[in-house]
Structure formats: structure tokens, C-alpha cells
Amino acid sequence: MSTAIQRCPRCGNENRSDSFACTFCGKRLRIEQVEKVPIFKRIEEEWTNPYPWYMKFFYLLINPARAFWDINHLRKSAPGYIILLMNSLMYALIGWAFTIHFQFISIGGVSPPFALWVFVYDFSFFLGFFLFGLMLQFLFYKFLIWLYTLGANYSVGFTERIESRFGTSPSEGTKYKDRDLSPFSIYKGGTLLQKQEAYKSKVMFCAFFPFLIANFINFLVVLIGFPNISLSVSGLLDPSIFSAMIESDIWVALYTVDGLVLAIWVPILITVAIRELSNSSTWRVLIPSFGISILIAVFFYFLRPVFFS
């Protein structure tokens, strides 16, 4: 069955009839009311070179539409996994912020404890929180991407659209040099559809950039708000040190920050990421993205026992 097409009024190339922007030159073919909000306005400029990673971060913070416009042009260079790594490092700093508030009276029966043992404790918590954060966030982000994909599949046929646009494997697309991979700025005079692998997870991981800000805030909260505690511990895995951390009321603040970021900020970025990948409606992606984010924020953060104790 043939697919209905529409011709771009700017570059003359053919696009799917349900496309919201020209695949070749980026001209908006449909304009939604929600795009009057600056963070959702599609970018119609000609793309020439990718932004460096720090500029991508800057635009993820202040202008996600521009950030994902750039990321989508060269998806294999998306900084999604860099964001995951940096979030894990922030987790490590949170662990370190906890440990500096512990005043060890003795370690393993030695009082005062050797400075080397104190250093081992501090470094162990730094490393442990890094590894725990890396594993936890990778699994959590993958779970969220799965849910967002389900929502987008229902609302705009996300998976079908990106498979149609980019193929189901790297071998299906013609190989181009990095500078020629843009689906917007190259071959404006022809009808050849430029394909590169979708790199869906790598791109969508970028939508979790707000957690980097949340983790930095949480680091400051622990650094400033966690009380100093004097402890005598028998060894590295003494349960008293974990009990002191887990039973602290400071987790109310930490979970609140994470929950609000997930419920309010992340769905904005994930909407733009899905929209740019699939060339689809902003509004129809935004609604399920917010619904999923709010539900997960409530169940994963705001229903924890610490809020009711």
C-alpha cells in the first residue's frame, strides 16, 4: 500500500503526509498551538555542524527544542550515556557528602581510628554510591524509556515512525560521512531519504539531564542539612552507619526534589526527544509523557514510607 505524501513548500522534497516538519530542510509543515511556547517551538534553521557536548548541555537546560534539534542531526554523538555517567558521579558525591558528617570514635576497636581507615571508608562510600547510582539509574532510565515508548506508540505510532524513517538496523541505511548524516540539511535538491541508525536509547537518555541538576541539589542538601553523627563501627559494612543514613529525615527532601523533577521537567524533554525522532505531534506526545511521569513520580517517590512516618 502506498503512503500519502506532501511536498515541502521550501525545498520541494516529498514527505509523509503526517510529517510535522520537512525531513530534508526542517521547514515546519504543520504548526501546533503548543509550539507557541518557546521550549516546544521547532527549529527551522539549516544545520551545519554539531554543537560540542557542553553546548548540548546548555541547551538541554534552557532550550530543549534546540538541543534535540541538534542531537537528532547526528544521533550517534548524543551525550545520553555521558549524562548517565555524570549522574552516577553526582550519586558518588552524595555518598561522600554523607560520610563527611560521620565522626568515627573507633573503627574495628581502634580509637582514635587510623587516618587511612577513615580515608578507606570515605572512598568506599564514594565508589559504592557511584556503582549503585550507575546500575540504578541505567535500569530506571531504561524502564522509563520503555514506558514512554509505549505511550508514544499509542499516541503517535512512535516505533513505526522511527522504523519507517531510519530503518530497523544500521545496514538498511546508506552510509554517509559524519558531516552528511543530517536528515535536514543535505540533498535538499533531491528526494533521497538520508538514513542513519536511530540510536533511540542514546537520544532519549538525554531527556534525563534534569536528574543531573536534581542530584547536584541533593548533594548540596546532604552536604548542608545532614547532621554530624558520632559512631563506633566494627568494620566497613557496619549496619549502624547505614541505619544512620536510612533513618534520616533528609530523604524527604531528596525524594521531593527527584519526584518533582520527574513529574514536571523530564516529560518536557522526553516529549521533544520523541517528537524529533519520529517527526510527530508535540501535543499528542506531551500528554502521555506527563501522565507516565506523574504516575511514576507518585509511586516511586511520594508514596515512600518516609513521607508518612
Digit-coded pLDDT (tens) for 114-162: 777 778 778 888 998 999 999 999 999 999 999 999 999 999 999 998 8
Residues 90, 133: contact at Cβ < 8 Å?
A: yes
How would you classify the pairing of strands 14-16 and 5-7? antiparallel
Q: Predicted confidence band at 174 (pLDDT cuts at 50, 70, 90)?
A: very low
Longest dimension (CA), the chain: 80
Using one digit for the tens of pLDDT, what is the confidence trace for 29-63?
A: 888 899 889 999 988 887 778 899 999 999 999 99
CA dihedral for 38, 42, 46, 47, sign (positive or negative): positive
pLDDT at 28: 80
Average pLDDT over residues 203-231: 94
Which residue type occupies 209?
A: F
- For residue 239, the model assigns a pLDDT of 78
Instruction: Find the mean pLDDT for residues 103-123.
Output: 77
Mean pLDDT of the chain: 85
Q: Enter the C-alpha cell of residue 256.
A: 521531593
Kindly report the pTM of this predicted structure: 0.87
SS3 label, residue 225: helix
Query: Is the pLDDT confidence value at 1 over 70?
Result: no
The conformation of residue 79, written as its DSSP 8-state character, comes to T
pLDDT of residue 48: 74
pLDDT at 184 over 60: no
Establish how many alpha carbons lie within 13 A of residue 127's alpha carbon, considering only the half-sphere containing its beta carbon. 7
Please report where in the chains the cell 523530564 appears, as a residue.
266
- Quick check: 279 and 161 in contact, CB under 8 A? yes
pLDDT in the model for residue 236: 66
